Amino acid sequence: MKGKWCLILTMLIFGSIGVFVKKIDLSSSEIAFLRGVIGSVFLLIASFLVKHKPSLQALKANAVLLLLSGAAIGLNWIFLFESFRYTTISNATISYYFAPIFVMILAPWVLKEKLTSTKVICIVMAMIGLYLIVNPGSGGTSGSMNHTLGIFYGLLAAALYASVILMNKFIKGLSGFETTLVQLMAAALVLLPYLLWKGQLNFTELNSTAILFILILGIVHTGLAYFLYFTSIQKLKGQTIAVLSYIDPISAVIIAAIFLGEGMTVIQMIGGVLVLGSTFLSEKLELKLEKKGQSPTTSP
């Protein structure tokens, strides 16, 4: 029961990310960099406290994949935060949940897995759902938002996260916690030269509210959330994790409606149900493959 509550709390934390990002007056790359730095420092301290020491040999063996996946995480955050800026949190979150669909599409080539009829149905469902979300009534531009561009950024973020999922398949000898810690550090390391080149490392004009939100994003939404996530999944079955993970997008829609007054049309809601339903079906299929000893197509 404790593991379930930890995972529920984690998903609620993840679901509130968009509200905080929208309140931080920095570029998406700056926010992503600070999130990586603060989050990795938190997890580093946590690993020392729980005496969790990764194998140096495993780190060396997976160095290239860790660096590439860390860079993908950093870029993934940038595009996700850009998505929050250009469209509603609901649209951005549902677009981001396209990641398992991208994994399914790429798995036959990357993981040499069969594209079954069930997977094809999931992909078609997700595509129809996305079309309904980006319909003439919700797409285009409204006010300061460009929903089509925002959803496109959300899909780019999903594609990058899908690449991280696939790369994690080939990382051996490290736990999920260890892998995430190194990837967060790699994300910050890769983003630093870009920020220096763009001259975007001037945080002197930040007000106290922005600083508070950045600290919450780094400590709570990254460090604490990932720590709780990896602590809770050790005690739960795969099916339970799959079901509870959908608290994230549902809570994101509710939180955005309460604090930002955002809403969705009926057509968009149907589209969202199709996208999330397709990813849910894909995860159920994943669990069946794991029980049969076959390679899964998704991972935390």
Mean pLDDT, 10 residues at a time, over the chain (300 residues)?
Answer: 88 96 92 96 90 86 95 96 95 94 91 86 93 67 77 96 94 91 94 86 82 96 94 83 90 93 88 92 70 41
Domain-by-domain residue ranges, the chain?
2-16+26-291
At residue 228, the pLDDT reads: 93
At residue 140, the pLDDT reads: 54
- In whole angstroms, give the CA distance from residue 20 to residue 32: 13
Tokens matching residue 239: 């099916």
At residue 2, the pLDDT reads: 80
At residue 1, the pLDDT reads: 63
Does the global pTM surpass 0.75?
A: yes
- In whole angstroms, give the CA distance from residue 91 to residue 272: 8
At residue 297, the pLDDT reads: 36
Question: Which of helix, strand or coil describes residue 145?
Answer: strand
At residue 296, the pLDDT reads: 36
- In whole angstroms, give the CA distance from residue 280 to residue 267: 20
**Phi, psi of 173, deg, nearest 5:** 80, 5
Show Cβ contacts of residue 69 under 8 Å, excluding neighbours closer than 6 positions.
Answer: 163, 164, 167, 168, 171, 179, 183, 186
At residue 112, the pLDDT reads: 86
Show Cβ contacts of residue 66 under 8 Å, excluding neighbours closer than 6 positions.
Answer: 59, 171, 179, 182, 183, 186
The terminus-to-terminus CA distance of the chain in angstroms comes to 20
In 3D, which of 230, 239, 249 has the Cα closest to residue 97? 249
CA angle 74, 53, 48 (to 5 degrees): 85
At residue 9, the pLDDT reads: 96
Q: Please say whether the beta carbons of 148 and 83 come within 8 A.
A: no
